[in-house]
Amino acid sequence: MGRYEREFEKAEKDAEKFDLDDYFAHGINYFKCGCKKNLSVVYNYPFATALAIIGELYGTDIPGRNGNYHKGIAYLSNELGVHKRQIKILRKAFVYKNKYIYKIPYKVVPIVTKMIELLSANESKKIVKKFLKRQNSFVYREILIGKQYSEIEAVAKYDERIWQICNELTMLVKKVE
């Protein structure tokens, strides 16, 4: 297994670890959507891997022994002025009344926009190339939050704020070169 594959695997394992912040992710900063009885993949591994890549490329100045995944979250949190919790929440679906559900922060658009900007600026780097090669889609938004985007689109008509978020996400059509 190559160095990058080990990084990707570490990011996936970091995403699966218990995180106390998940229990505080509720209230006015989030909404729930995409309730499902069965979910084949609970974790959004590409999102977690993308965070690790951002951590590797931009998080070298961030102190601490935490891995690239956590450095990526810290970097984005500093850049966007957004709580780390709101970034981490997109990495998985949560158990809710014996089903699964996605928790989406209302600041999902700046988070995803920034991630796309950082990844697309480094497309020539080997780590990003390897990451993109593994993905099923050629649109960054679909790679990072494909499932969540579909669920947001399905319920946008019920709420104005979500409608606005959906419209902004729909405009994010940056493709992999």
Contact 119, 128 (CB under 8 A): yes
For residue 36, the 8-state DSSP code is E
CB of residue 156 to other proteins, shortest distance in Å: 9
CB of residue 140 to other proteins, shortest distance in Å: 10
CB of residue 154 to other proteins, shortest distance in Å: 5
Note the residues at the interface with other proteins (CB under 8 A): 31-38, 96-97, 99, 101, 136-139, 142, 146-147, 150-151, 153-155, 158-159, 162, 170-171, 173, 175
CB of residue 59 to other proteins, shortest distance in Å: 29
- In the complex with other proteins, the residue whose CB is nearer, 31 or 69, is 31
Integer CA distances (angstroms), 64 to 61, 68, 71, 114, 172, in order: 9, 10, 9, 23, 33
- In the complex with other proteins, the residue whose CB is nearer, 121 or 173, is 173
- In the complex with other proteins, the residue whose CB is nearer, 94 or 110, is 94
Q: Which of 149, 45, 140, 137 is nearest to 91 (CA)?
A: 45
- In the complex with other proteins, the residue whose CB is nearer, 98 or 124, is 98
Contact 15, 48 (CB under 8 A): yes
